[in-house]
Amino acid sequence: MAMQIGESFVGNGAQAAHINTVLGHRSGPAGTAWATALATPRAGHVPFVAVLKPGVPAKPMTLFVNKAAADTTAHAELTWGAAQAGVAAGVMDAVAQGVVPATAVDDLVLIAAVWVNPEATDADLVYANNRAATCAALRAGAAGLPSVEEALGARHSPANPFYTPSRDT
């Protein structure tokens, strides 16, 4: 299996989830990146293994990398609580659906770069959106999405929740 890179954005407003995934073999570049990221935390960004509950990590082993520094207690709790639980459950949803082959999970590692808005307040929505976004990002990576045609078609009208151009560029 070649390294798979996926992306997904689910939800609206401060409760939305934006996930980037890198899935690959433990013995390849993904494994090196996984171990390096785990071993090199930075202030506000402490990669950790995503767990379904203490002592039960998601399979494949999933490194949760926060994109937004956890500067407040509330934001840290949403990141390490609801978002982590959502990512771990989303990984297992992808395994249950066959997106990630169950027979390969011990040979693979996953890096999930996760955006939790510092203004988020609803733990249940943060959980649900991260769960859905993680599974969708893994599905996109497995399918090689978006297609080149889709990306080319969007180049003149890019938009995201934070910016939409006022005119075609």
Catalytic residue of the set 18, 25, 75, 156: 18
Tally of residues, the chain: 169
Phi, psi for residue 120 in degrees, rounded to 5: -65, 145
The verdict on whether 25 is a catalytic residue reads no
Q: Which residues are catalytic?
A: 18
